[in-house]
Homo-oligomer: A and B are copies of this chain.
Amino acid sequence: MSLHETVRTTLRDRILSGALPVGAALPTTAELSVEFGASRGPVRQALAALATEGLISTGQGRVPTVMRAPFAHAIDDFFSFSAWVTAMGRVPGQRTIELALRRPPASVAAALGVGGDTRAVDLVRVRSIDDEPVMIERSTFVEHVGRLIFDFDPDAGSVFTALLDRGVSLEHGEHTINAVAANDQDAAALDVAVGTPLLRVHRLTRSAAGEVIEVADDRYRPDRASLIVHNSRTRTAPAPSAVRRTTTEGSR
A residues sitting closer than 8 Å to B (CB atoms) are 4, 22-23, 45, 48-49, 51-54, 57, 59, 62, 65, 67-68, 71-72, 74-79, 84, 88, 90, 129, 134, 170-181, 195-200, 206, 208-210, 220, 222-235, 237-249, 251-252
Q: Please give the count of copies of this chain that the complex contains.
A: 2
Inside 8 A of A220's CB, which chain B residues have their CB? 178-179
Q: A71-B251, A76-B233, A78-B243 are in contact. Are A197 and B180 (CB under 8 A)?
A: yes
- Once bound together, how far apart are the Cα atoms of A208 and B172, in whole Å? 30
B contact residues around A200 at 8 Å (CB): 179, 222
Complex Cα gap A220–B227 (Å): 15
Given contacts A57-B208, A57-B210, A197-B179, contact A244 B222 (CB under 8 A): no
A244 x B230 contact (CB < 8 A)? yes
**Residues of B with C-beta under 8 A to A22:** 210
Contacts A175-B229, A198-B179; A237 near B239 (Cβ below 8 A): yes
- Given A199-B179, A222-B180, A252-B88, residue A231 in contact with residue B49 (CB < 8 A): no
